[in-house]
Amino acid sequence: MNTLRSNNRLLNNDLTIRVIDLHDQGFTNDFLPTENKHFFCLQDSVDFSIDDIVIKVIDEGYDQLTNSYKYIHTIETINGSKGLLVADCICTEDSLIN
């Protein structure tokens, strides 16, 4: 049982550390991409057009749970909300790149 717990702690350690660091910098909300280049904030249930946000790719890390690379984005909205998007692809104002 202790071995299982130890292995779980090691999974996604780099991604987790980076996300926690960004949370400490004020990027506390979580965003999900939706249809037509919109992004949904999970905390306040607001849907933002890509024209109403500033999105930047901050980092890339390997997700051992899904065996794939994830891209960490910061998002700042027109109403001052700040948050993160962790996605399989790079998301920018101009395009969504797989």
Q: Mind listing the pLDDT tens digit for each residue in 4-17?
A: 555 555 556 788 88
Residue in the structure block whose two tokens are 């979580």? 30
Domain assignment of residue 56, given as a range: 2-90
Q: So what's the pLDDT on residue 28?
A: 97
Identify whether 40 is part of a domain. Answer: yes
* 3-state SS, one letter per residue, for the chain: CHHHHHHHHHCCHHHHHHHHHHHHCCCCEEEEEEHHHEEEECCCCEEEEHHHEEEEEEEEEEECCCCEEEEEEEEEECCCCEEEEEECCEECCCCEEC
* Entry pTM: 0.81
Number of domains, the chain: 1
Residue 11 forms part of a structural domain: yes
pLDDT digits (tens, 9 = 90+) for 32-67: 999 888 999 999 999 999 999 999 999 998 888 888
pLDDT at 95: 62
What pLDDT sits at residue 98? 46
Mean pLDDT of the chain, nearest integer: 85
Does residue 96 belong to any structural domain of this protein? no
pLDDT of 1 above 50: no
